[in-house]
């Protein structure tokens, strides 16, 4: 299989849109409703973008949307490739690398996650302050990328300034944001109660099956990262109650308006702050 360079895809993107956003958002499953609130300028199916992952199409998933949010140009990745689907890490992280080459400097990653911290309730948002990569691999493994660090520093993997803007936006949207450590797992099975107890002891607050690979690729590319989870339920079910994907989707749906308001505040704030890495 011939490998597509993210540079090639970035050049293609410049032909699709006149917008030059420095800000991008990855909308995880259950977050595509945000699109209804934005003024889409261009929507490009992933299938037209070399190297982009084949994403199962539900609703708007599988599209890269260029839009203006309160006059701020933004790139919205609707849907992501997950490691549990069997994609190599290179595919899981490709869109982030292509957007970085396109000129994106700040990235907000969203996801649905199971809460482990007993203070968390279903429907809460959590600002990722750090993560534990328990996916069993690292997307930066492999041949070194010319011009990029071989050994990437992760002492501040989530940008504190972007994190503070996220909290301010949440407050203004009328919701509170918890803070916590996201445990990234390969999935696709949910966790056993013993695993949840262990991850909690290791310092985790929430568990999920995405985000960590994109965060690592973004750090590798010099892109600032913020991450927010929607806590969809208590992980490993209270009292051993089985967990279903429907339950996870239902909670994300319940908080959709709040989440849209949060983004509508956050995106222009980031743009105004010019929160870009030099």
Give least dist CB 25 to ligand HPA, A.
Answer: 18
- CB-nearer residue toward ligand HPA: 47 or 137: 137
Report the b/e string of 202-241 with b at 16+ CB within 10 A: eebbbbbbbbbbbbbbbbbbebbbbbbbbbbbbbbbeeee
**Least gap, CB of 80 to ligand HPA (angstroms):** 13
- Residues 67-104: b if buried by 16+ CB within 10 A, e if exposed: bbbeebbbbbbbbbbbbebebebbbbbbbbbbbbbbeb
* 49/209 with CB nearer ligand HPA: 209
What six digits make up the tokens of 64? 């890269």
Shortest gap between Cβ of 30 and ligand HPA (angstroms)? 9
Torsion of CA 72, 32, 18, 2, to 10 degrees: 130
Cβ proximity to ligand HPA: between 47 and 192 the closer is: 192
Nearer to ligand HPA, 107 or 113 (CB): 113
Residue nearest to ligand HPA (CB): 114
Q: Which is nearer to ligand HPA, 135 or 223 (CB)?
A: 135
What is the token pair recorded at 24?
A: 């991008």
For ligand HPA, the binding residues (CB under 6 A) are 112-114, 190-191, 207-209, 232, 235, 248
Q: Minimum distance from CB of 14 to ligand HPA (Å)?
A: 35
Write down the least CB distance from residue 222 to ligand HPA, Å: 28
């Amino acid at each position: 299989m011939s490998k597509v360079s993210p540079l090639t895809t970035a050049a293609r993107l410049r032909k699709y849109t006149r917008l030059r956003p420095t800000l991008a958002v990855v909308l995880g499953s259950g977050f595509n409703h945000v699109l209804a609130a934005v003024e889409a300028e261009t929507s490009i199916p992933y299938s037209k973008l070399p190297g982009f992952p084949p994403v199962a199409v539900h609703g708007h998933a599988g599209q890269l949307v260029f839009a203006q949010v309160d006059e701020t140009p933004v790139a919205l990745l609707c849907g992501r490739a997950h490691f549990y689907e069997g994609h190599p890490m290179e595919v899981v992280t490709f869109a982030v690398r292509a957007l970085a080459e396109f000129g994106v400097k700040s990235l907000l990653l969203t996801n649905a996650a199971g809460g482990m911290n007993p203070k968390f309730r279903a429907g809460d948002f959590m600002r990722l302050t750090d993560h534990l990569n328990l996916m069993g691999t690292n997307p930066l493994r492999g041949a070194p990328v010319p011009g990029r660090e071989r050994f990437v520093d992760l002492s501040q993997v989530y940008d504190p300034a972007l994190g503070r803007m996220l909290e301010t936006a949440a407050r203004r949207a009328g919701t509170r944001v918890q803070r916590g450590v996201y445990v990234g797992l390969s999935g696709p099975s949910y966790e056993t109660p013993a695993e949840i107890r262990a991850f909690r002891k290791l310092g985790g607050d929430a568990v999920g099956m995405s985000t960590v690979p994109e965060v690592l690729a973004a750090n590798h590319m010099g892109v600032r990262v913020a991450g927010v989870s929607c806590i969809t339920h208590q992980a490993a079910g209270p009292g051993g109650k089985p967990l279903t994907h429907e339950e996870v989707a239902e909670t994300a749906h319940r908080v959709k308006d709040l989440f849209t308001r949060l983004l509508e505040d956050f995106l222009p704030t980031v743009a105004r702050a010019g929160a870009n890495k030099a």
